[in-house]
Amino acid sequence: MATAGRGEWSGKLGFILAAAGSAIGLGNIWRFPYTAGENGGGAFVLVYLFFVLVIGIPVVLAELSIGRFAKLNPVGALKKIAPGTKWSWLGGLGVLTGFGILAFYSVVAGWTLSYLWGALTGHASDVTSAEETAAVFNHLIGGSIMPLVLTAIFMALTIFIVRGGVSGGIERATKILMPTLLVVLIIMAIRSMTLDGGSEGIAYLFKPDFSKLSVGVILAALGQALFSLSLGMGAMITYGSYFPDRENLPQAGIIVAFFDTAIAFLAGLIIFPALFSVGVDPNGGPGLVFVILPSIFAQLPAGNLFAVAFYFLLAIAALTSTISLLEVVVSYFVDEKQWDRKKAALWIGLACFGMAVPSALSQGAVGGLTDFLGTGISFLDLQNIIWGNYSLSFGALMLCIFVGWKWGIPAALGSLESSGHRLAVGGFWSILVRYVCPVAVGAILVYIIITQQYF
């Protein structure tokens, strides 16, 4: 369990960009809009925002406090803080969840490569109506060879970067790519909001209709907040473990959470106005972004150029997230099992590709996977719900109990503030971590188990 020579970010900005790179990804631009659309819009968005503030930010700080203190992977960190207990199992669940998320995330990330290719070769503006773009999308994901090839390419890119260690390359790349992503998204949001009928989309996103609230909507909002902030599975423990001792960690964590939420809202402001302007149902499911955006590009002057920039940045945003997912699993094998980093990245990446195969084939290619075990949803959607909603929620719940009740707030706060920078709302944080998060998340999970409303 060597902690020496693990490397660290060059400074606060390096951490903010790398952690924002983990947080900002398909979760913001793909998952947030379609989940909001499936769950009625405004009411979901409001609950989501509430969860980011009341659960997301406190859990970001809880995970970072563990990482900074232990300077280890999630399993090693919990073992170090609570030796001789079973708490390291929670780290183990996090590592497993990272593997589970990567196995479906890389499939969707693969789709972005096909769209990038289409834009680069000038085909992005060939189809204009939403029916045509939907047909293109269904043809792509319903195939059997292409989804597998694209997933393999994306997994290979992830393995390649994680093999070499992330801090230098990722840090350097994210410093340019993240600000560029922000600018491209802002321009697209302005274009979308000024489309005819666009204001209806803004109203859909921000005017809550509380009759749409249900336990399912609340769990979806909680899962989305945790997924988007990369929480509940130790990614922030791992990234926090590379944080330089002298810098202000609480502030950096809060900035990452705001940045992540801003990007999700921007994505919403691109998708929903466009959707209403072309009269497409917001409840379109996971294909939403891939069907609607191409028809906006077709209407933009220099739309193909925008399409290239957008899909390139989307693929990069996804890559900086897949790297953090694989990094959690690799750091466990490197720290705890003394595997060579290169070997770990390769074998874990290959195994994960194997797990990704059923998800890649579940969008029409294989009937038994498309409606998996009679659940009415595809294998990919099921993985998304199991790992992305349930496991992250359970993980966040247990991490709060660990920090609030086992390790203790004074020690955790001491770790967060070890550079001498105070967390001004430390007392409030303590209440959220000890009481509010466990009760709220626990109540949602228990209610779902009792009522058996799993999806």
Interface with ligand PFF by CB under 6 A: which residues?
22-23, 25-28, 98, 101, 227-228, 230, 233, 235, 321, 324-325
Query: Which residues, 6 or more positions from 105, have their beta carbon under 8 angstroms from its beta carbon?
Result: 25, 26, 318, 321, 322, 325
Name the minimum Å distance from CB 26 to ligand PFF: 4
Q: Which is nearer to ligand PFF, 26 or 45 (CB)?
A: 26
Name the minimum Å distance from CB 288 to ligand PFF: 15
Nearest by Cα to 395 from 66, 158, 167, 166: 66
Nearest by Cα to 152 from 113, 97, 118: 113
Name the minimum Å distance from CB 23 to ligand PFF: 5
Q: Which is nearer to ligand PFF, 198 or 232 (CB)?
A: 232
CA distance 328 to 102: 11
Name the minimum Å distance from CB 22 to ligand PFF: 5
Q: Which is nearer to ligand PFF, 278 or 381 (CB)?
A: 381
Name the minimum Å distance from CB 394 to ligand PFF: 14
Q: Which is nearer to ligand PFF, 26 or 161 (CB)?
A: 26
Q: Which is nearer to ligand PFF, 73 or 304 (CB)?
A: 73
The answer to whether residues 252 and 13 touch, using CB atoms and an 8 Å cutoff, is no
Task: Compute the Cα dihedral for 179, 180, 181, 182 and give only its sign.
Answer: positive
Name the minimum Å distance from CB 76 to ligand PFF: 17
The answer to whether residues 109 and 362 touch, using CB atoms and an 8 Å cutoff, is no
CA distance 297 to 1: 50
Give the amino acid at 303.
G
Query: Which residues, 6 or more positions from 199, have their beta carbon under 8 angstroms from its beta carbon?
Result: 193, 273
DSSP assignment of 252-306, as one string?
HHHHHHHHHHHHHHHHHHHHHHHHHHHT--S--GGGHHHHHHHHHHHHSTTHHHH
**Residue 186, class by beta-carbon neighbours within 10 Å (0-12 exposed, 13-18 middle, 19+ buried)?**
middle
Name the minimum Å distance from CB 96 to ligand PFF: 12
Q: For ligand PFF, which residue has the nearest CB? A: 27
**Residue 84, class by beta-carbon neighbours within 10 Å (0-12 exposed, 13-18 middle, 19+ buried)?**
exposed
Name the minimum Å distance from CB 298 to ligand PFF: 26
Q: Which is nearer to ligand PFF, 60 or 189 (CB)?
A: 60
Q: Which is nearer to ligand PFF, 35 or 277 (CB)?
A: 35
Q: Which is nearer to ligand PFF, 73 or 125 (CB)?
A: 73
Q: Which is nearer to ligand PFF, 23 or 252 (CB)?
A: 23
Name the minimum Å distance from CB 20 to ligand PFF: 10
Name the minimum Å distance from CB 240 to ligand PFF: 12
Largest Cα separation within the chain, whole Å, is 63
Give the amino acid at 445.
L
Nearest by Cα to 33 from 244, 229, 283, 252: 283
Q: Which is nearer to ligand PFF, 136 or 323 (CB)?
A: 323
Name the minimum Å distance from CB 122 to ligand PFF: 28
Please report, in angstroms and rounded to a whole number, the separation of the first and last CA atoms in the chain: 40
Q: What number of other Cβ atoms are within 10 A of residue 419's Cβ?
A: 16
Name the minimum Å distance from CB 97 to ligand PFF: 8
DSSP assignment of 206-243, as one string?
HS--GGG--HHHHHHHHHHHHHHTT-SSSHHHHHHTT-
Q: Which is nearer to ligand PFF, 322 or 430 (CB)?
A: 322
Q: Which is nearer to ligand PFF, 203 or 255 (CB)?
A: 255
DSSP assignment of 358-400, as one string?
HHHTTTTTSHHHHTGGGSSS-HHHHHHHIIIIIIHHHHHHHHH
